[in-house]
């Protein structure tokens, strides 16, 4: 089951907040807005991405990045920081990933592009990220504990194996090349050989047992999930 990706915004400028909410919702994202952050408990469930406007704090939002980085719950959530000028970034290089910084004013197209690229690097957009278990016949894939249930037998999957299987199961009969799987699961900037995908698929098939044929090899291209 696919879910709407959720974005949490921190910002104090009403007009700019409205701009962000309008275009993000237009793209189908769920949006939650905070004018300030008093406690991490305020946020509630883990979002898929944070957007921090520099207006939110005297430290231009970088203090928020530091708090998220130290939180086991939020440390893997991508962050987009919106700054007024390059002056605001001085001496802040280690507090937020520079690739996720945008300078205001920002166009709606650039905003959405940055949001999507940030999600993609964190394997959420490309993988059709889901938060509820996928159940297909006797198989159940649960994102809460990276487990695979096969005929009532629960198996723990390493993260990469889980992500590959989730990618395929979420896209029935769609063929993914080895490079597409690498880009989706490992990220575009990570250097990994294509053979790595084959090794992980072999291990997944071993765990699927008599259902191993649901992952079909497409000769010369890659893999696809053939529905049961």
pLDDT at 29 over 70: yes
Residue 111 sits in which domain range? 6-121
Strand order in the sheet with 49-53: 30-34, 6-10, 49-53, 79-83, 101-103
Q: pLDDT tens across 36-62, in order?
A: 887 788 888 888 889 988 888 777 677
Distance CA(112)–CA(97), nearest Å, equals 18
pLDDT at 105 over 70: yes
pLDDT at 128 over 50: no
> Average pLDDT, stretch 173-193?
77
| 211 and 109, same domain (yes or no) | no
| 25 and 101, same domain (yes or no) | yes
As a whole number, the mean pLDDT across the chain is 81
| 153 and 104, same domain (yes or no) | no
Q: Is 210 a domain residue?
A: yes
- Of 79, 99, 121, which residue constitutes the final position of a domain? 121
Domain count, the chain: 2
- The pTM assigned to this predicted structure is 0.54
pLDDT at 123 over 70: no
Q: Percentage of the chain with pLDDT > 70? A: 82
Q: Is 1 a domain residue?
A: no
Say which CATH number the domain at 113 has: 3.40.50.2300
């Amino acid at each position: 089951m696919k879910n709407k990706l959720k974005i949490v915004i921190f910002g104090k400028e009403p007009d700019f907040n409205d701009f962000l909410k309008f275009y993000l919702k237009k793209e189908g994202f769920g949006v939650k807005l905070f004018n300030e952050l008093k406690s991490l408990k305020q946020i509630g469930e883990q979002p898929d991405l944070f957007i921090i406007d520099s207006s939110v704090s005297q430290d231009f939002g970088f203090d928020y990045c530091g708090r998220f980085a130290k939180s086991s719950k939020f440390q893997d959530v991508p962050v987009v920081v919106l700054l007024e000028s390059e002056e605001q970034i001085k001496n802040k290089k280690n507090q937020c990933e520079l690739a996720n910084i945008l300078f205001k004013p920002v166009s709606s197209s650039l905003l959405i592009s940055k949001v999507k690229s940030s999600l993609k690097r964190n394997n959420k957009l490309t993988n059709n990220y889901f938060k509820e278990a996928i159940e297909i016949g006797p198989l159940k894939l649960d994102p809460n504990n990276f487990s695979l249930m096969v005929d009532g037998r629960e198996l723990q999957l390493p993260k990469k194996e889980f992500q590959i299987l989730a990618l395929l199961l979420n896209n029935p009969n769609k063929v993914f090349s080895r490079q597409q799987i690498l880009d989706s699961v490992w990220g575009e900037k990570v250097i990994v050989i294509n053979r790595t995908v084959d090794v992980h698929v072999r291990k997944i098939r071993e765990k699927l047992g008599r259902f191993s044929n649901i992952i079909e090899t497409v000769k010369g291209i890659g893999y696809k999930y053939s529905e049961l």
